[in-house]
């Protein structure tokens, strides 16, 4: 039989092809690494500026359709609030901030409620992040241990109602699946890289534009903000400078 000009796969190459395919699948799934990166659940005085920040530590953008954040009551391990993240896409190495008041929280991407005090203060309570297949992909228990949401060991860090601070992954975006190792006190940095310390280190990520363009963008933004907050349309979140 003349096989010249015909393409065929040798049996001896099949294992290598399978290995390559498996490697591609593993690499693809590993690139989607959305983490709970920072949370501020307690502020001096009334809790009016709470926020949760996610970070995409993967190498590709990830649609958040079907993703959710569950807030868990430590007294009975029940979910007391769910935050639906559908309608957003988070770019690689970027941040996503959920809040109730963008006038008090910089770089807020999802104003999902107007209520204050929407995150319980412990002790303990927990946050859990689920993907679109209902897999718990990250969690943080705070002010104590709460099974199964404590990853390995509980963090010793506690938010404060007298000092401006947050629970932050330090170094920023690192994940060893150990709440005690990964989370410490940081200054507030919603939408930007975490920094150790206390105080408000927030910076709005706004690119410089010429004055006429800035005026046009400002006017357009005023018209569009209400629609964004009400309808939560599909859009991509990219906070790169």
**Residue 27: per-residue pLDDT:** 35
Residue ranges of domains in the chain, CATH in brackets: 31-223 (2.60.40.1260)
Find, among 235, 239, 171, the residue nearest to 202 by Cα. Answer: 239
Pairwise CA distance, residues 104 & 186, whole Å: 17
Q: What is the pLDDT of residues 34-43, one digit of tens each?
A: 999 999 999 9
Asked if pLDDT for residue 3 goes beyond 90, the answer is no
Mean pLDDT of 194-211: 76
Q: How far apart are CA 170 and CA 163, in angstroms?
A: 19
Q: Are 184 and 155 in contact (CB under 8 A)?
A: yes
pTM of the model: 0.75
Ranges of H-type helices in 98-177 = none
pLDDT reading at 174 higher than 50: yes
């Amino acid at each position: 039989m003349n096989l010249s000009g015909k393409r065929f796969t040798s049996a001896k190459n099949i294992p290598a092809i399978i290995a390559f395919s498996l490697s591609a699948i593993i690499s693809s799934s590993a690139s989607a690494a959305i983490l709970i990166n920072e949370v501020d659940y307690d502020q001096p005085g009334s809790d009016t500026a709470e926020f949760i920040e996610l970070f995409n530590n993967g190498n590709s953008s990830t649609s958040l359709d079907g993703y959710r954040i569950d807030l868990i009551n430590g007294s009975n391990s029940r979910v007391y609030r769910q935050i639906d993240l559908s309608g957003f896409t988070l770019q690689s190495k970027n941040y996503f901030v959920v809040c109730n008041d963008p006038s008090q929280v910089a770089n807020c991407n999802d104003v999902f409620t107007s209520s204050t005090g929407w995150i319980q203060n412990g002790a303990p309570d927990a946050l859990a992040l689920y993907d679109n297949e209902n897999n718990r992909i990250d969690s943080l228990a705070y002010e104590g241990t709460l099974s199964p949401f404590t990853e390995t060991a509980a963090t010793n860090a506690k938010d404060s109602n007298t000092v401006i601070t947050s629970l932050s992954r330090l170094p920023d975006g690192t994940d060893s699946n150990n709440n005690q190792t990964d989370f410490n006190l940081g200054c507030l940095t919603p939408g930007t890289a975490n920094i150790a310390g206390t105080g408000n280190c927030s910076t709005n990520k706004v690119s410089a534009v010429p004055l006429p363009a800035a005026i046009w963008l400002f006017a357009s933004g005023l018209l569009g903000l209400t629609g964004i907050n009400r309808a939560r349309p599909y859009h991509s979140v990219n906070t790169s400078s």
